[in-house]
């Protein structure tokens, strides 16, 4: 008769903690990734929108705040409406 290959029982993971150098390298890698993502975002999009959001005039009590002017073209509004209606029609609404 043939013999089946029997694998030994899997051992439990080693209860020892990870090496401290590995943990430090992981934290540094996360920090570097955050810096690279931030740098790439600034290179691609610039800082104009961030500055605009931070320098926004503060609302004063008792003074109504006017909504931002809509500067979209009519064609762009139609495209946005078509995209929104197709999302709802296909069940992919946000």
Whether residue 79 contacts residue 86, with contact meaning beta carbons closer than 8 Å, is answered with no
Q: Are 44 and 37 in contact (CB under 8 A)?
A: no
pLDDT above 90 coverage of the chain, percent: 16
Summary mean pLDDT of the chain: 78
| C-alpha pair distances (Å), 88 with each of 77, 81, 82 | 17, 11, 10
Mean pLDDT of all residues in 13-19: 69
Tokens for 27?
A: 């934290």
Q: Kindly tell me if the per-residue pLDDT of 44 is higher than 70.
A: yes
CA angle, residues 9, 12, 18, in degrees to nearest 5: 145
Name residue, tokens 């909504």: 67
Q: What distance in Å separates the CA atoms of residue 36 and residue 20, rounded to the nearest whole number?
A: 24
Domain regions of the chain by residue span? 19-53
pLDDT value of position 27: 96
């Amino acid at each position: 008769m043939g013999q089946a290959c029997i694998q030994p029982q899997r051992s439990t993971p080693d209860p020892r903690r990870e090496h401290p150098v590995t943990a430090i390298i992981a934290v540094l890698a996360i920090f570097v990734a955050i810096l690279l993502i931030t740098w790439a975002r600034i290179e691609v999009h610039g800082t104009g929108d961030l500055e605009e959001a931070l320098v926004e005039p503060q609302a004063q009590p008792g003074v109504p705040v006017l909504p931002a002017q809509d500067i979209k073209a009519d064609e762009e509004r139609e495209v946005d409406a078509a995209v929104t209606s197709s999302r709802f029609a296909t069940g992919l609404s946000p």
